[in-house]
Amino acid sequence: MRHILAAVILVWMFLGASLPALAQTPPQPTPSASPPASPRLKVGTMQIPPFSYKDAQGEWVGISIDLWRDVAEEMGYEYALEEFDENALVQAVEQGRIDVVVTALPITPDLERRLDFTLPYYHTGLGIAVPNRPVGNIFLHVVEELLSTQFLIYVGLMGFLLMVSGLVVWWIERRINPDQFGRGPKGIVDGMWWSAVTMTTVGYGDAAPKSVAGRLLGMAWMFASVVLVSVFTASVTTTLTVGRIEGKVNGPADLPTAVVGCVSQGMAEDYLRRIHVKPQQYPDISTAMAALAAGDLDAVVESRPFLLHTVREGFSKKTAVLDVQFDPMLYGFAFPLGSPLRKQANVILVRLRLDRDYWKSLTGPYLGE
């Protein structure tokens, strides 16, 4: 028994001396972990110049691409671009296979139900491209306008009124004043001569009515002629001047009477059919603009920034984009429903969009505005 008790005491003394030394042993260092990498987003896009397209070096550029680059940098995200067609792009973001759509994706009621859009970063609408009107030969231009349907209608109307006035004054004066308004065809010609010189305020005085009714008619014809000649002169001047400065299409109201082209199944086709215009359809905007430059079309209707970019890139000598915009459209970045990224992007987008200098530097190289 004494031997067992002595053994217990010895074990207790050994453990008591060892525990403080163990307690004072410093912990072994663990390998330090590297800081977490920045999140990498999957970004979907497609070829829609000037918003998103590949340049000659194969790099993605455009208004949407450049804007997203600045937004992602401020958000602290890295990203990789993946190319889709429009239907596959919408499906990919809707199913969450990509994190965001960066291109000219219009904000429509149908897509708004399926996706979460940012605030619109680009407000636009349809535009009209027309041929440049060369200065050309002034004489040929005047001859062309003088033979136009509108001018011939003016001339015909004035001739009809002159003939009616001449016949009436001849009928009144033929018996009272046979020396100046004789009988038969000669008298009718004399009446028209009097009507013409009175209308043009020449008034040679070789023929003048003598009866009271004839003179009253003469007075009425003089006052009417002042108005008619003024309107006629103003109309002819407007036709010659405006017809020289402007083309056949100067706004949406002129489209129903013009030969109009658009991209097949594009944004402009529905609008043109709504206003009862049957457009000539082309596979892409460049083909449509080539037809316009060749003189096959009076106008091309498409999204205005698309027209501005296409004209700037290769058709500026023969075509121009009118300073009109209609049928409004809104473009925004699109996220899957419930994405937390949208709020972060909105804060940055609003600030960048309100910065005029930034926006001018962003769009200027692509649109020239």
pLDDT tens profile 168-196: 887 877 777 776 677 777 777 777 777 78
- pLDDT greater than 70 at residue 277: yes
**Of the ranges 220-224, 233-237, 351-355, which is most confident?**
351-355
Q: Which range has the worst mean pLDDT, 59-68, 159-168, 238-247? A: 238-247
pLDDT tens digits, residue range 317-355?
A: 899 999 999 999 999 999 999 999 999 999 999 999 999
Distance between CA atoms of residues 184 and 304, nearest Å: 66
Q: pLDDT for 3-53, tens place per residue? A: 555 554 554 554 454 444 434 444 444 443 333 445 689 999 999 999 999
pLDDT tens, 296-311? 999 999 999 999 999 9
Task: Give the list of residues 6+ apart from residue 132 with CB closer than 8 angstroms, or none.
Answer: 317, 318, 319, 320
Higher pLDDT, 165 or 236: 165
Question: Quick one: pLDDT at residue 246?
Answer: 56
CB 183 within 8 A of CB 213: no
Q: In the CATH hierarchy, which fold is given to the domain comprising 138-245? A: Helix Hairpins (1.10.287)
Instruction: List Cβ neighbours of 200 (8 Å cut-off, separation of 6 or more).
Output: 225, 229
Domain boundaries, the chain: 40-121+332-367, 138-245, 248-327
How high is the pLDDT of residue 36?
A: 41
C-alpha separations of 234 from 140, 228, 229, 230, 237 in Å: 21, 10, 8, 6, 5
CATH of 40-121+332-367, one of 3.30.420.40, 3.20.20.70, 3.40.50.1100, 3.40.190.10: 3.40.190.10
Whole-angstrom Cα distance, residue 215 to residue 207?
12
Contact 131, 295 (CB under 8 A): yes
Q: Which residue has the higher pLDDT, 111 or 151?
A: 111
Query: In this structure, what DSSP letter does residue 99 have?
Result: S
Domain 248-327: give its CATH superfamily: Periplasmic binding protein-like II (3.40.190.10)
What is the pLDDT, as a whole number, of residue 29? 44
CB 276 within 8 A of CB 253: no
Output the average pLDDT for the chain.
82
Band of the pLDDT at 166, cuts 50, 70, 90? confident
- Please choose, from the candidates 104, 86, 129, the residue with its C-alpha nearest in 3D space to the C-alpha of residue 319: 129
State how far the Cα of 242 lies from the Cα of 298, in Å rounded to an integer.
Answer: 17
Length of the chain: 369
Question: Is 85 or 189 the better-scoring residue by pLDDT?
Answer: 85
- Nearest Cα residue to 82 out of 37, 41, 38, 39: 41
Pairing of strands 299-303, 260-263: parallel
Tell me, yes or no, if the two domains 40-121+332-367 and 248-327 fold the same way.
yes
As a whole number, mean pLDDT of residues 63-72 equals: 96
User: In this structure, are residues 117 and 336 in contact, taking their beta carbons and an 8 Å threshold?
Assistant: no
